Structure 1
Amino acid sequence: MTTRRIEVLDLLRGIAIVGTLGTNIWIFTDPGGPADVVKALGQPGTVETFLRFLTNGKFLALLTLLFGVGLELQYRSAARRGVPWPGWYLWRAGLLFVEGLIHYLLIFEFDVLMGYALTSIIVAYLIGRSDRAVKAWMITVGAVFVVLIGLLTLGMLAGQASTGGASEPSTLFTDGTYPQQVAARIEMIGLYRIEIVLIVPMGIVLFLLGSRLMRAGVFEDSARGTALRRKLMVVGLAVALPLNLLTAFAGPGWFLVDRYLLPPLVALGLLGLVATLARRATGAPGVLRRGLTNVGRTALSSYIFQNLVASVLCYGWGLGLAASLDGLRPWWVVAAWAGICALFMTLSTLWLRRFERGPVETLWQWAYLVPQGRSKRSDKMVEVSTKR
């Protein structure tokens, strides 16, 4: 791994994190909270529908691809050191699941870390298998996922499914206390965590795809890497993106296609585009690129804390801006997203001037290494033995 390639990964990860907030910010700023998460989707001609389209699902998929790249790097590291795989990686996945559970209970209903943790356990046993076996898994799981999305979409369309409904709007997020919100997450964990049923199969395909793209040289300065990135941009931006725009305005019945089926293809195009532009960039990175790269280096901290900041700004137990500024939608939502992104680009830059990792990453690394005292010494003995 060259330093430049690592910087590209950090840049992509930073873009994925701020893009994920671009989806979540519509939840935080809705006075009805997560209960009205797709209330404005599919309303033809609305500016908000278009603004949601720009981020919905795409950066979740990009982040998922990058998790696959990270898993590939962990696998390579274990292979170089001659240590068993998946070995201690399963402990990493367990920590990620616990971290996601805490994030879900205390901060945000639609945490993705729990789903990533479950996915990584499955993929850890697949990533080292032959290309033929991995391809078979990707095709099989991908086909099941597409059929599932198709059947659910047909059901939503046939039943004229609408997330708006006629029920009374929830006041939990405008008038409720913080403990009441936590209690609601515990009570409704089955409903709020149902997305994992879709994230895990999608994640298996995208984790494995991210790993194989890495092996195929998608980040390399080579003719092969350039050609691969160009193909990704054609598929994602020239084909999938226009289709995704149509589904964004097609109505709530197309919500699942609009969030889970087309966005992963668009994410491939984004990956190819950002990697290409990063390769062509000359000179020192500007303020924006440095900020995004630093967010990528502190991705876990930024993901968790930006959701916490959005909660404080929007919910009734905080500043309550979701209710007081609702008449200024959608523009105040865009301003809130931009402000939070600027804040964390600044904070991550200042933090990394003094520390190697973000605060959550540091705590996570400690929790990962503490139980490995004996294992680490054994790994060193294996490395010495291998060199001899």
Structure 2
Amino acid sequence: MPNDGTAPTGRPRAAEQGGGRRIDALDVLRGVAILGTLGTNIWIFTDPDGPAGFLAGLPAPDSVAGTAETVLRFLANGKFLALLTLLFGIGLELQYRSALRRGRRWPGWYLWRAALLFTEGVLHFVLVFEFDVLMGYAVVSMLVAYLIGRRALVVGAWAGVAAVLHLASISLLTAALVVLPDSVRETPEPLVGLYAHGGYPEQVAVRLSEVLVYRSESVFIVPLGIVLFLAGSRLHRAGVLADTVGGARLRRRLMALGLGIGVPANLATSLLGPDWFLADRYLCAPLVALGLLGLVPALVLRSRRGPGPVRRALGAVGRTALSSYVGQNVIASVLCYGWGLGLAATLADWRPWWVLAAWAAICVLQLLLASWWLRRFERGPLELAWHWAYLAPQRRGRARPPSGPGAGTETEQMGVAR
């Protein structure tokens, strides 16, 4: 969620394939992905049993409330996370292009960016949220950074192997869920009540003690991350965000794949029940994300009268993606957990209606806050801290007296574009 490599500007500008200006459609896409990711995570925060209750599966669709929750969770499950992963791949492509344009080594200082992202992910996991995605993205970005500039045949081979590994692992795990008795997958007793009534230090302690459980997802979806990062990079090269005939054709194909095939497949796996959760989230949802990658830019580029208030606000969330992602999880924690307002337990009988209201309220708040902040600063609060940390070692390098042959070219060799 760090900057995509283009310089921030006061206002969103039209989509471009490169250069120094921001890509408006990309900012809007990020905003949609961030708010949509909350649409998945909000069910974790609002479950009285916390992550353990969420992992226990969907409620039985034997009532209006149960059916509504099943449908609402289907609408968000995995789709926006996969979209966010595709957008990370586009951001990596932009960083790579910027490095080439400036004559800088690759991956060079990008690895420092990835290390900072991993550090942010560790802090976010320990202090805020069990299912942090930043750590996984950092690891995948380090791997893909060495692939992104390779020949198409090499990239295709890596993507193909990763896709086969991912398909095999999800198929085996889904088969295991289908055959295992439900009693094996009950909510762990020690965690019941912790999030509804326990204190903040106790929650941090559980995250640390159960780190293998909560980080297992980040490990087994590394192959999917590689596929989506590389897909995002190649789709950007193919012009998915470009206002061209070829770009429009590519977007239509993505919409046909994602919305015409992905959505029905995703609906089918949702209706098959909780045993098919992994297939629903990690096989079908990425297809839907490709459809969204075609749909959102098509809507943005169709408008010729400039961005309206909703589009500007979504773009603001996209430009402050890291702050918005962490911020929404902090807000949801304060609202839902026992050490905060404790609404998860207090309003448990009002699920899923109050959950939908909480998601909408947090989204509106973030749209307003991001817009307000960017009228005063060029980056989000966490982005400012991240930018300072990224530049700090480079400043120290520039401060050292030149020594040896080629010392005068040191500045040109440093890092990737910001």
2:334–2:340 CA contact under 8 A, matched in 1: yes
- Cα distance in 2, alignment partners of residues 375 and 226 from structure 1: 45
8 Å contact from structure 2 (residues 56, 187) kept in 1: no
Q: Is the 8 A contact 1:44 1:250 kept in 2?
A: no
**Aligned pairs (5 A) from 1:4-83:** 4-5=14-15, 6-41=23-58, 43-44=60-61, 46-83=67-104
Cα distance change on mapping 1:167 and 1:308 into 2, 3 Å: closer
Question: Please, which of 227, 233, 239 is the counterpart of residue 255 of structure 2?
Answer: 233
Residue 313 of structure 1: how far off its partner (Å): 0.2
Q: CA deviation at 1:197?
A: 1.7
- For 1:120, the equivalent position in structure 2 comes to 141
For residue 386 of structure 1, what is the aligned residue in structure 2? none
Distance 2:59 2:156 in 1: 35
1:153 to 174, 186, 193: 174
Q: Distance in 2 between matches of 1:54 and 1:166?
A: 24
Contact 2:159 2:227 in 1 (8 A): yes
- Contact kept in structure 1, 2:85 and 2:225, CA below 8 Å: yes
**2:269–2:279 Cα contact (<8 Å) kept:** yes
Matched residue, 2:13: 3
* Structure 1 letter corresponding to 2:99: A
**Residue number among 159, 183, 187 corresponding to 2:205 in the alignment:** 183
**Residue 217 of structure 2 is aligned to residue 195 of structure 1:** yes
Rounded Cα–Cα distance in structure 2 between residues aligned with 1:202 and 1:21:
21
Letter in 1 for 2:75: L
Which amino acid in the other structure matches residue 14 of structure 2? R
Query: Any conservation in 2 of the 1:19–1:59 contact (CA below 8 Å)?
Result: yes
Could you list the runs of 5+ residues in structure 1 that have no partner in the other structure? 384-388
- Give the alignment's Cα RMSD to 1 decimal: 1.8
Q: 1:381 to 1:225 in 2, by over 3 A?
A: closer
- Determine whether 1:297 maps to 2:314: no
Provide closer, same or farther for how the CA distance between residues 223 and 183 of structure 1 changes in structure 2, counting only shifts above 3 A. same
**Matched residue SS, 1:4:** coil
With over 3 angstroms needed to count, the CA separation of the structure-2 counterparts of 1:139 and 1:19, relative to structure 1, is same
Aligned residue identity for 1:131 = A
Select the residue among 94, 107, 110 that pairs with 1:89. Answer: 110
Give the whole-Å Cα distance in 1 for the aligned partners of 2:335 and 2:40.
Answer: 16
Equivalent residues in 2 for 1:274-285 (5 A)?
274-285=296-307
Asked if 2 retains the 8 angstrom alpha-carbon contact of 1:123 and 1:207, the reply is: yes
Write the distance in 2 (CA, Å) between the matches of 1:235 and 1:265. Answer: 7
Deviations 1:2-27 (A, max 9, x none): 93121100000000000000000000
Partner SS state of residue 349, structure 1:
helix
- Following TM superposition, where does structure 1 have runs of at least 4 consecutive aligned residues deviating by more than 6 angstroms? none
Contact 1:161 / 1:252 at 8 angstroms: preserved in 2? no
Pairing 1:327–2:344 present: no
Deviations for 1:136-188, whole angstroms, at most 9, x for unmatched residues?
A: 11111101110111111111111145786276470110111001101111111
Secondary structure at 1:272 match in 2? helix
Same amino acid, percent of matched pairs: 59
SS at match of 2:186: coil
Residue identity matched to 1:128: G
Report if the CA contact (8 A) 1:69-1:211 is conserved: yes
Which structure 2 segments of 5+ residues have no match?
1-5, 7-11, 16-22, 399-407
| Structure 1 residue 356: Cα displacement | 0.2
Corresponding position: 1:214 with 2:248: no
Find 1:287's aligned residue among 283, 287, 309.
Answer: 309
- Measure, in 1, the Cα distance between the counterparts of 2:413 and 2:224: 36
Kept after mapping to 2: 8 A contact 1:93/1:117: yes
CA distance in 2, matches of 1:310, 1:137: 38
Q: Which amino acid aligns with 1:294?
A: A
1:133 maps onto 2:154 in alignment:
yes
What is the TM-score when the length of structure 1 is the normalising length?
A: 0.95
User: For 1:273, which of 295, 300, 318 is the aligned residue?
Assistant: 295
Q: Tell me how far 1:44 sits from its aligned partner.
A: 3.8
Query: Higher helix proportion, which one?
Result: 1
Of the structure 1 ranges 149-158 and 294-303, higher mean CA displacement relative to structure 2 is found in: 149-158
> Which segment drifts farther, 203-212 or 366-375?
366-375
Q: TM-score, normalised by structure 2?
A: 0.88
